Chains A and B, each alone.
Chain A
Amino acid sequence: MPKKEERMIDKDGVRIDGRKFDELRPIKIEIGVLSNADGSAYIEQGKNKILAAVYGPHEVHPKHLALPDRSLLRCRYHMAPFSVDERKSPAPSRREVELSKVIREALEPSIFLEYYPRTSIDLFIEVLQAHGGTRCAGITVASLALADAGIPMRDLTVACAAGKVEGQLVLDLTDEEDKKGEADVPLAYMPNLGAITLFQMDGQLTLEEFEKVISLSLDGSKQLYQLQKESLKAKYVAVKEDVEE
């Protein structure tokens, strides 16, 4: 007898991890986790665990890379060898190089780089455990690390994916949903300015589905944005409540 294919969505419309179609994975965010970095943040989004660290703005090394009119943003997205089921080589893969670039380009518009000419801002995103949607979670956490470093920004950047799995449009895809599904659309967004800074699509969607997927991921992004803001304030609110009780 052939083995029955595992379904990603059951007949009641519940996804494989028990979520509804428009539900985000459970999220935990911490700010300022690394004392040696100028700014840092940590996020757990479902089974994803990602650490971001920011150094700078400081002098550029090597010096010839310095830009005369603005700060240089350098970004490294890296997955730890133990972050996936099969050991990943620690050397930067083709995929990681590409993600470093798209994450940098998603964050660049949010930062006032022109304030600090001849300097660099170095951003490190380390994926400790990956379970789908790490580029989006990486952008979300990197933006918080930048804010924690005191770097002036137009807005926090938040990213969230949506896609199509077994004919259904769903928010925040996991690794399995991404692999077995029909389409995946990661999107980064600056909610207060209403600007999209990253947009990619893998798979096929009809025009109507496409528009629905965008509004779905924008809604998810707005939910995430609230969590971002709360977590950024949490430390100060706690101190304030502590002394003014």
Chain B
Amino acid sequence: MPTFYEQRQLVTPGDLLAEGNYIAGENTFKENEKVYATCIGMVEYGERKVTVVALKAFYIPKVGDTVIGKVTDVTIGGWIVDINAPYPALLRASDVMERSYRPQKDELSSIYDVGDLLIANIVSYDRTRDPLLTVREPGLGKITHGQIVEIIPTKIPRVIGRKGSMISMIKNETGCHIFLGQNGIVLVRGKNSEDERLALMAIRKIENESHTSGLTDRVTEMLKKEKEGETKNA
């Protein structure tokens, strides 16, 4: 079973990755016992499986994902939420109400209005139906403060790092609370905007350099340098 690239090498759509008894994993496809890449990314050869970690991608909803979305419309039965995916997500009024929902009396826009940002879970989604959201769990609901950045969703694991090493380092260095939406939207909450700026800078750096090695060390170094510069200016 020959393979044609090194581990974590850059590949483009159509590149022949492996031949023979391999399983085509994410971002690959198999035809005539040959596995090809379907997007630009880094190839990873497993025991039997070949996958490509995409460097360019958009979010596809998955049941159980926690996402950050923006309310784009208020309808009679609920809200339409943009979750940065090809499909709009629905949030039902009955999901939010404590008691039963009465369309004649309840004003939905007084709960969530157009432009509000929400943290929500995806409860159902398949090819034929748009994703359905819920906010009925602790930690979900309207976002009241903080800053938002959008990154490529496949880079979320890189921001977390191995066993959460990257994210806990950024949290320690900046003192910010960071929430990662599976759809690539990141919420940063800090004591002041300067802390938030540092955390956002670190996240941006990770996104741009996600395909390189030794990233945690470089981000730590950058944050330390930035903090020193700050104290000097103050």
The residues of A with any CB-CB pair to B shorter than 8 Å are: 38-39, 56-59, 68, 110, 112, 116-119, 147-156, 190-193, 228-229, 232-233, 236-237, 239-240, 243-244
Q: A153 touching B13 by the CB < 8 A rule?
A: yes
Residues of B within 8 A of A156 (CB): 12-14
Please, what's the 1-or-0 string for B16-60, where 1 marks a CB less than 8 Å from any CB in chain A? 100000000001010100001011100000000000001111100
Q: B38 touching A59 by the CB < 8 A rule?
A: no
B83 vs chain A, min Cβ distance (A)? 12
Residues of A within 8 A of B214 (CB): 243-244
* Interface window among B63-71, B185-193, B194-202, B204-212: B204-212
- Report 22 cross-chain contacts, Cβ distance below 8 Å, ordered by A residue: A38-B58, A39-B56, A59-B87, A110-B13, A112-B29, A147-B40, A148-B56, A149-B58, A150-B40, A150-B54, A152-B39, A154-B13, A156-B12, A156-B13, A233-B40, A236-B10, A239-B211, A240-B211, A240-B212, A243-B212, A243-B214, A244-B212
Query: What 6 new A-B contacts, CB under 8 Å, besides A39-B56, A192-B15?
Result: A57-B58, A110-B13, A148-B56, A232-B12, A236-B10, A240-B211
In the bound complex, CA of A58 to CA of B83 (Å): 12
Q: B213 touching A244 by the CB < 8 A rule?
A: yes
A147 vs chain B, min Cβ distance (A)? 5
Partner of A58, one of B36, B86, B128, B152: B86
- Let me know if B224 is at the binding interface, CB within 8 A: no
- With A192-B14, A243-B218 as contacts: A153 and B38 at CB distance below 8 Å: yes
- With A59-B88, A117-B127 as contacts: A150 and B56 at CB distance below 8 Å: yes
Residues of A within 8 A of B55 (CB): 236
Q: B212 touching A154 by the CB < 8 A rule?
A: no
Residues of A within 8 A of B13 (CB): 110, 147, 152-156
Please, what's the 1-or-0 string for B175-193, where 1 marks a CB less than 8 Å from any CB in chain A? 0000000000000000000
Partner of A229, one of B12, B38, B87, B218: B12
In the bound complex, CA of A56 to CA of B211 (Å): 24
Partner of B14, one of A38, A150, A191, A239: A191
Q: Which residue of A lies closest to B88 (CB)?
A: A59
In the bound complex, CA of A197 to CA of B80 (Å): 39
Residues of B within 8 A of A (CB-CB), count: 31
Q: A147 touching B56 by the CB < 8 A rule?
A: yes
Chain B residues 126 to 160 lying within 8 A of chain A, measured CB to CB, are 127-128, 152
The residues of B with any CB-CB pair to A shorter than 8 Å are: 10, 12-16, 27, 29, 31, 36, 38-40, 54-58, 86-88, 127-128, 152, 208-209, 211-214, 218
Interface residues of chain B: helix, strand, loop or mixed (majority):
loop
Q: A153 touching B14 by the CB < 8 A rule?
A: yes
In the bound complex, CA of A51 to CA of B190 (Å): 41
Q: B29 touching A154 by the CB < 8 A rule?
A: yes
- With A233-B40, A240-B212 as contacts: A147 and B12 at CB distance below 8 Å: yes
Q: A239 touching B208 by the CB < 8 A rule?
A: yes
* 4 interchain residue pairs of minimum CB distance: A155-B14, A150-B56, A152-B38, A192-B14
Partner of B58, one of A150, A232, A240: A150
In the bound complex, CA of A147 to CA of B56 (Å): 8
Q: B208 touching A233 by the CB < 8 A rule?
A: no
Residues of B within 8 A of A58 (CB): 86
Q: Which residue of B lies closest to A155 (CB)?
A: B14
In the bound complex, CA of A90 to CA of B54 (Å): 38
- With A39-B56, A148-B56 as contacts: A112 and B14 at CB distance below 8 Å: no
In the bound complex, CA of A232 to CA of B54 (Å): 13
Q: B56 touching A153 by the CB < 8 A rule?
A: no
Residues of B within 8 A of A243 (CB): 209, 212, 214, 218
Residues of B within 8 A of A233 (CB): 10, 12, 40
A158 vs chain B, min Cβ distance (A)? 10
In the bound complex, CA of A57 to CA of B39 (Å): 15
A111 vs chain B, min Cβ distance (A)? 10
In the bound complex, CA of A151 to CA of B39 (Å): 7
Q: B10 touching A237 by the CB < 8 A rule?
A: yes
Residues of A within 8 A of B16 (CB): 192
In the bound complex, CA of A117 to CA of B27 (Å): 18
Q: Which residue of A lies closest to B13 (CB)?
A: A153
